[in-house]
Structure 1
Amino acid sequence: MSAANFTLNAQIRTNEGKGASRRLRRLEARVPAVIYGAGKEAQSISLELRELVKAIESEAFFSHVLTISIDGQPQQAVIKAMQRHPVKGVPLHADFLRVDAAQKLVRKVPLHFTNQDTCVGVKVGGGAITHYTSEVEIACLPAALPEYIEVDMSDIDVGTTLHLSNLKLPAGVEIPALALGHDYDQPVANVHATKAD
C-alpha cells in the first residue's frame, strides 16, 4: 500500500455558530471542523480551505490516519464525516475522530479490483464482471489501516462469485461482518456468462 502522509494545519476556533462559520469560510477561506474521541474533550478547530481541498483529492485521505496539527500540537485522527456544498462540492464542515494507537478502528476502505482485463472468466470464458460493492468495513489498529483492499480478478472463472470471506486481508485487518455468521458473507463481485446475441 502507499505511504501517503496527510498533515493538516488547524487552529482552535473560539467563535461558534452558523454566522461565525459563514464568516470563517467567506472571509478567511477556512473550514470549521471538530475533533473528538480518545477520551479527550471535543475541540472546535478550523482548517485552511485550500489545504483541505488538496488533501481530499486523494482517495487515500478517507482511509488514512491523519495528523491534525492544532496550533502546533499534532494529534492523530481519521475523518469521520464531511459536509460539502450541494452544488460546488467544496467542504463546509469536517468531523475528525482522534485515534488511540492501542484501540481498534472500524473504517470503510475502498476495494480496488485488479487484473480485470486478464480475468480468465472474461478472456477465456467470454463472461462479464459485476461489482456488488466498492468498499468494505474493516477493523484494525491504526498502524495497520490499509489504504485499500486489493481484489485480484485474474483467476476468477465464469459462474464464480467472490464473497467478503474470499478477500485477502493485510496482517492485523479483519472484517467484523464475518464474525456475525455465514449470512453476513456478502458478495463482492462475480463473473457471469453474457447472453449470446
Structure 2
Amino acid sequence: MTDFVIAAMPREDSGRRSSRRLRRTGMVPAVLYGDNKPATSLGIEARLLRKLLADERAYAHVITLEFPKGKETALIRDIQMHPYKEEVLHMDFMRVHAGEKVRLHVPIHFLHETTCAGVKAGGVLHRALNDVEVEAPVDRLPEALEVDIAQLEKGESLHLSQINVPAGVILIPLQHDDDKEIVSIHNPRTGAEAEETPEAAAE
C-alpha cells in the first residue's frame, strides 16, 4: 500500500515554544490524528522531509511513519510553510488503513501538451485545473490523473466528465453536478485585436 517511509519521533511537549526549540534541532513538528485514536505529536528530521516532499507522489500517497516502537500509515493532510523561506514549519498527517475511503486532491498531468492538434495549429493551451479532489480506497488512490489531449483542437475544451479515472476513484465535483472545465485551446489574440480592445471598451 505504500513505498514512502520516513522516520518519526513521538514527543510529549507541544505549543509554540516547544515547536521553536524543536526546529532549532533540525526537526519539524507534526501531528498524527484520525482513526478514532488520540492525536500524537511528533517530530521529523527536516532533511528527510525535504527529500520526501520533493517527490510529487508523496502528497497523494500513503506514507509509513516509522516510530522507535512501531509504525503508522498516514496521508499528508496539511503543510504549513514559512512565509518567505522554502521551509516546512508544521505538518498534519491523518491515519489511514487498507480499504478505507479517503478524499484528497491529486494533480492532473496533461499528455502531449506541445504536440496536440490545436497547439500545432497555432492555438494557445489554457489549463483551467491543475488538481482535483477525488475519493477512493487508500490502496487505489491515483498519484496523478493523466489526461491525453493529443486530439484536442482549437476552440475545444475538456471537462471532468470526459476523462477516464481508475476503477474505484470518484471525482468529487461531479458528485455535486459541477462538471468543471479542465483544459481548453483558444485562438491566440492578434496585435490588432489587443489594440482594438480598449476602444471597444470605451464604446
Q: Under a length normalisation based on structure 2, what TM-score does the superposition of the two structures give?
A: 0.89
Equivalent residue for 1:178?
Answer: 174
CA deviations on 1:45-98 (whole Å, 9 max, x unpaired) are 111111011111111111111111122411110001111111222111110001
Residue 38 (str. 1) matches residue 35 (str. 2)? yes
CA deviation string 1:106-144 (max 9, x = no partner) = 010011111012201121x32111111100111100000
Structure 2: segments with no counterpart, 5+ residues: 192-203
- Rounded to whole Å, the distance in 2 between the matches of 1:180 and 1:115 is 30
User: 1:16 Cα deviation (Å)?
Assistant: 1.4
Aligned residue in 1 for 2:21? 23
For residues 105-120 of structure 1, the aligned pairs below 5 Å read: 105-120=102-117
Structure 2 residue 85 is matched with structure 1 residue 91: no
- Measured after TM superposition, the shift of residue 18 of structure 1 is 1.2
The equivalent of 2:181 in structure 1 is 187
Q: Does 1:57 align with 2:49?
A: no
TM-score by length of 1: 0.92
Q: Which of 133, 153, 157 lines up with 1:157 in the alignment? A: 153
Take 2:128 and 2:6, find their aligned partners in 1: how far apart are those partners? Answer: 34
Number of equivalent positions: 191
Larger Rg: 2
- The letter of the residue matching 1:38 is D
Structure 2 residue aligned with 1:10? 8
State which drifts further: 69-78 or 47-56: 69-78
Answer yes or no: is the 8 Å Cα contact 1:4–1:60 preserved in 2: no
Structure 1 Cα separation of the partners of residues 2 and 73 of structure 2 = 14
1:93 is paired with a residue whose SS is strand
Question: 4+ residue stretches of structure 1 with deviation over 6 A?
Answer: none
Secondary structure in structure 2 of the residue aligned to 1:69 = strand
Give the 3 Å change call, closer, same or farther, for CA 60–145 of structure 1 in structure 2. Answer: same
User: Cα RMSD over matched residues?
Assistant: 1.5
3-state SS of paired residue (2:170): coil
5+ long unaligned stretches in structure 1: none
Partner AA of 1:104 in structure 2: K
